[in-house]
């Protein structure tokens, strides 16, 4: 679903508004014409702003933000000390850019202008059905898109019911806390400081005035993730835990050091390990995933030794260690993205756990003799 510029939008707005006033009053006064011009100006100004913001929303991504969902009734702000994460307090439905779009409409746009704009979309779509005189000068038939984008996204509703039915929120809360604390413990040991404010991965892509509320974890323990991280394939309420660790928890762990500059020498090492990936500037996401994969993978390896493995029907020979990397790589894939397999290779090749899980021969491509260990900043010299 896409927006397009409507060159005749102002004329169409004035045409419909003026025709509507004529339908109610045969003798249009000069004051009526002035009111129509004023309303049309506000409508078109709002529409231009909405079109500009919506232009950065991925056209093919079906996962779009529409709401913030509290997860647990008792998940309030954490009173714990910094760098100790205790709760996953909120989930947001869908894609961060969509929530930014919604925030823009309800925060940056005056309520009266927004009401006029939505009314205008409704009139432009429904008006010609009631009166053919209103069809003159209207834009394309897809004018209902803006209003539709403000409505709940229906495809997430069955999964919402499943999360509630199978105590999914509680399970997500538990594995979030365990894996996040493992990542935080690693960051402490390595001397990596957790940021004090939330940082959005799309901040530089969206307009500065947009109040983007997306996946983040802060020092006080408050956290929020896109709801799509709690839906298949990243998370399931009755699947082997390793799939949830490789999907949902890996994304969370990679988000923790976001905003923290990564060591240049470590990035250079990773680029030598996988030269088909550029890891500098805004493209350091694969490097953070590689770091998170090692930490979360080690956590999973320790905990699987004391638990009872769960197998998938028909995949009994696939261990949970293997499932962890299967889920991790599934989350790194993207439609029509030629770099997707290299992101997976980077995390897998840099992990000894991957080589152990898949019995890769020493010195083979997926089990190199040298890997990239993140520098310990607490050591001097």
Task: Give per-residue pLDDT as tens, 16-26.
Answer: 444 444 444 44
Report the range of poorest mean pLDDT among 70-79, 268-277, 336-345: 70-79
For residues 69-74, average pLDDT = 44
Same-domain pairing of 229 and 323: yes
Domain membership of residue 266 (yes or no) is: yes
Domain membership of residue 367 (yes or no) is: no
Same-domain pairing of 112 and 198: no
Please give the residue range of the domain that contains residue 49: 9-60+96-148
Q: Which residues of 297-333 are buried (b: 16+ CB within 10 A; e: fewer)?
A: bebbbebbeeeeeeeeeeeeeebbbbbbbbbbbebbe
Predicted pLDDT of residue 320: 80
- Cβ–Cβ < 8 Å for 88, 75: yes
Domain membership of residue 379 (yes or no) is: no
Same-domain pairing of 121 and 199: no
* Confidence (pTM): 0.55
- Cβ–Cβ < 8 Å for 286, 277: yes
Same-domain pairing of 210 and 339: yes
Question: pLDDT by residue (tens digit) across 255-265?
Answer: 766 666 778 88
Question: pLDDT by residue (tens digit) across 334-376?
Answer: 656 777 788 888 989 999 989 988 899 999 999 999 999 887 6
Domain membership of residue 380 (yes or no) is: no
Same-domain pairing of 125 and 17: yes
Same-domain pairing of 199 and 102: no
Same-domain pairing of 169 and 285: yes
Cα 313 versus chain centre, distance: 31
Same-domain pairing of 250 and 108: no
Same-domain pairing of 290 and 311: yes
Distance separating alpha carbons of residues 328 and 289, to the nearest angstrom: 9
Predicted pLDDT of residue 285: 78
Omega into 174 within 30° of 0, i.e. cis? no
Domain count, the chain: 2
Same-domain pairing of 107 and 46: yes
Domain membership of residue 376 (yes or no) is: no
Domain membership of residue 366 (yes or no) is: no
Same-domain pairing of 14 and 140: yes
Same-domain pairing of 234 and 127: no
């Amino acid at each position: 679903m896409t927006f397009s510029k409507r060159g005749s939008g102002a004329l169409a707005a004035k045409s419909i508004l003026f025709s509507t006033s004529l339908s109610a009053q045969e003798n249009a006064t000069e004051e009526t014409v002035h009111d129509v011009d004023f309303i049309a100006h506000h409508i078109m100004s709002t529409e231009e702003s909405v079109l500009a913001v919506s232009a950065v929303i991925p056209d093919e991504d079906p996962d779009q933000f529409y709401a913030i969902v509290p997860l647990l009734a008792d998940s309030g702000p954490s009173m714990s000390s910094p760098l100790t994460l205790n709760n996953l307090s909120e989930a947001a439905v869908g894609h961060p850019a969509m929530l930014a779009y919604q925030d823009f409409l309800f925060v940056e746009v005056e309520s009266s202008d927004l009401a006029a704009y939505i009314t205008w979309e409704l009139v432009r779509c429904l008006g010609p059905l009631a009166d053919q005189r209103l069809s003159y000068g209207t834009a394309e038939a897809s004018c209902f898109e803006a209003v539709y984008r403000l409505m709940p996204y229906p495809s997430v509703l069955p999964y919402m019911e499943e999360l509630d039915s199978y105590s999914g929120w509680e399970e997500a809360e538990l594995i979030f806390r365990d894996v996040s604390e493992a990542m935080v413990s690693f960051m402490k040991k390595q001397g990596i400081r957790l940021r004090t404010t939330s940082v959005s991965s799309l901040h530089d892509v969206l307009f500065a005035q947009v109040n983007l509320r997306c996946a983040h974890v802060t020092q006080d323990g408050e956290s929020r993730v896109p709801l799509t991280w709690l839906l298949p394939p990243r998370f399931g309420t009755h699947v082997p835990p390793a799939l949830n660790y490789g999907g949902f928890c890996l994304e969370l762990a990679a988000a923790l050091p976001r905003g923290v500059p990564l060591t240049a020498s470590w990035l250079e090492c990773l680029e030598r390990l996988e030269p088909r990936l550029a890891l500098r500037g805004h493209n350091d996401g694969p490097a953070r995933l590689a770091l998170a994969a090692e930490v979360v993978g080690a956590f999973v390896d320790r905990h699987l030794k004391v638990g009872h493995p769960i197998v998938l029907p028909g995949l009994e020979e696939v261990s949970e260690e293997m499932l962890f990397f299967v889920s991790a790589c599934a989350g790194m894939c993207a439609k029509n993205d030629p770099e997707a397999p290299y992101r997976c290779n980077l995390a897998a090749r840099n992990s000894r756990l991957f080589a152990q899980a898949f019995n890769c021969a020493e010195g083979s491509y997926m089990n190199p003799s040298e890997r990239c260990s993140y520098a310990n900043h607490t050591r001097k010299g």
